[in-house]
Structure 1
Amino acid sequence: MTEDIELRGQCMCGSVQVRAASNRNRVAICHCDMCRRWSSGPFMSVNCREVAFNNEGSVSRVRSSDRAERGFCRECGSNLFYRIVGQTNYQMAAGIFNNQDQFRMALQVFVDEKPSYYSFSEQTKCMTAAEVLAIHAPK
């Protein structure tokens, strides 16, 4: 088992600071239509648990589908996380963390929904929408 790393970061304005534990230094990229509308590009995230926000009052949550919610800073609008409702893990926005050089791109999901105007050169595991939903959709 990989040893946990502690991640620290904050939103753009600093109203929300976060501490989280992760046993991965991998970044996952989601190309789905909803993530692209939310972030104006693919959503890049780190799988985290034991997530603690210093100022929960500045964290807004929106139920974005029947299975998931997204969080952002109420003050500056920075995207903070995507989370499947009922799970304890968060897909935290990779860009909010300090020391991002420790991360490496490892997975791309909803690759069948990726528009043609961008691409990544890293070799990663790629999953279609159907493959992702087979794992994470409510049964």
Structure 2
Amino acid sequence: MSTQYHGSCLCGKVKFIVPFANTNLSACHCHTCRKWSAGPLMTLTYSGEIVTQGQEYISHYNSSEWAERAFCKECGSHLYYHLKGTNNYYFATWIFDDIKDLEFTTEVFIDNKPSCYDFANHTHKLTEADILAMANGNSPKS
């Protein structure tokens, strides 16, 4: 069962309809995500092919050897984080206009989170070492 959400960038030139399998909200506290989004990056995960309207307005930035970040060339809205060589996308949650029934479940790179804020929600927390272990096919220690 999936929930289809309709999303767009700020100017509306890029549009998505994404059939999310779940509505689990995640936050990434890594340095790169915080620099990119001026705070933790809040995402919804999708695995599969994405259908986009306005593809010509999407620009990709290679933020690491394994990932790229997409944004609208016209308005600069952050769209998604994509793991290269996969169909795994982490969409910027708040680009979707009709989101509902979200559950904040996970925080990653929790050991990189600045001490000036904390979320009140009880979430599964993964460290940088946990994420790197998972990227290498191992189980996280947390």
Matches of 1:79 and 1:108, distance apart in 2: 19
CA contact (8 A) 1:83 1:90 kept: yes
Percent identity for Structure 1 against Structure 2: 36
Segments of structure 2 that go 5 or more residues without pairing to the other structure are none
In structure 1, the residue matched to 2:60 is 61
In structure 1, the residue matched to 2:82 is 83
Deviating runs (4+, > 4 A) in structure 1?
none
CA contact (8 A) 1:21 1:50 kept: no
What's the offset of the Cα at 1:138? 8.6
Residues paired across the two proteins, number = 137
Amino acid at match of 1:91: Y
Pick aligned residue for 1:19 from 4, 17, 20? 17
Q: TM-score, normalised by structure 1?
A: 0.93
Amino acid at match of 2:122: Q
CA contact (8 A) 1:67 1:138 kept: no
Describe how 1:113-128 pairs up with structure 2 within 5 A.
113-128=112-127
In structure 2, the residue matched to 1:51 is 50
Q: Structure 1 137/38 Cα, relative in aligned 2: closer, same or farther at 3 Å?
A: farther
Deviations 1:65-100 (A, max 9, x none): 010000000000000000110111210000101222
RMSD between aligned alpha carbons? Answer: 1.5
Deviations 1:35-56 (A, max 9, x none): 0000000000001133211011
